[in-house]
Amino acid sequence: MLDELEFRRLSEIALNSLLQHLIAREEELDSAFEVDEQGGVLNITFEEPAGKFVITPNAPMRQIWISALSTSFKLDWDAAAAAFTLPRTGEHLTALVDRLIGEHLKS
């Protein structure tokens, strides 16, 4: 298990990478959503259909949590993949967020 300092370092890298990815997607999708970062937490806000995703590191649990589509997704660090992944599907953070955005926009 990661110690807290290592978790904070890895989650910061992962969330910064995700933020850059989402900024590029925001432009690609012609502002279908807006992303912003506040204190290490990423917020993705949708106008149509209305909605909000919140992506936050949870240091005590050593997980990244995503609140989206009325569900909580808890990603663990996978050392072999060198990525935060959703245990039940194996999806990495960026792929999971992309899928959730697609599902939201189709609803």
Residue-wise pLDDT tens digits, 55-70: 999 999 999 999 999 9
The sign one gets for the Cα dihedral 102, 37, 73, 50 is negative
Q: Return the residue matching tokens 């999708």.
A: 29
Helix (H, G, I), strand (E, B) or coil at 23: helix
Amino acid in position 16: N
Q: Phi and psi dihedrals of 19, rounded to 5?
A: -60, -45
Rounded distance, CA 56 to CA 85, Å?
14
User: pTM surpassing 0.85?
Assistant: yes
pLDDT in tens, 35-51: 999 999 999 999 999 99
Task: Compute the distance between CA of residue 40 and CA of residue 35 in angstroms, rounded to an integer.
Answer: 13
